[in-house]
Amino acid sequence: MNKRVHIVAEIPLEYWRGEEKPGVTYRNAEVDPEYTAELVFAIRSDDSDADPREQVMKDRPQVHVAGTPRALEAFGCYLIALARLETLDPDVHDHFEDVQNDDGGTIHLIVHRVGSTAEE
């Protein structure tokens, strides 16, 4: 039987400091994570009998995310920092172009945060 483990962790969050004024928005205020080239994404069909490339968008696709421990930790800290970023920007997002595609090559990963902390 599995037991749930609860560990309190201290996580360093990094941001670029900048001024924001009403009507002026700044993007990419969080610090990009290291090791994104060690992340791997794959999109597969949820139907195990289907040809993954033909069927993937016709049914419920699976999205696989893999990475080295340091890449996953850095990306996790980045996501927490993005979630907690205080900004007036209604479209906070970032682009990562060195994330590996499981089928070869790289993908252009775009991470968006919906909403702002000013509304909460």
Q: Write the pLDDT tens digit of every residue in 36-88.
A: 999 999 988 777 666 656 666 667 778 899 999 999 999 999 999 888 887 77
Class of residue 61 by CB neighbours under 10 A (exposed 0-12, middle 13-18, buried 19+): middle
**Beta carbons within 10 angstroms of residue 72's beta carbon:** 16
* pTM of the complete model: 0.76
| Residue 9: partners with Cβ closer than 8 Å, 6 or more residues away | none
* pLDDT-based confidence at residue 27 (cuts at 50, 70, 90): very low
Write down the domain spans for the chain: 36-119
- How does pLDDT run across 93-104, given as a tens digit for each residue? 899 999 999 999
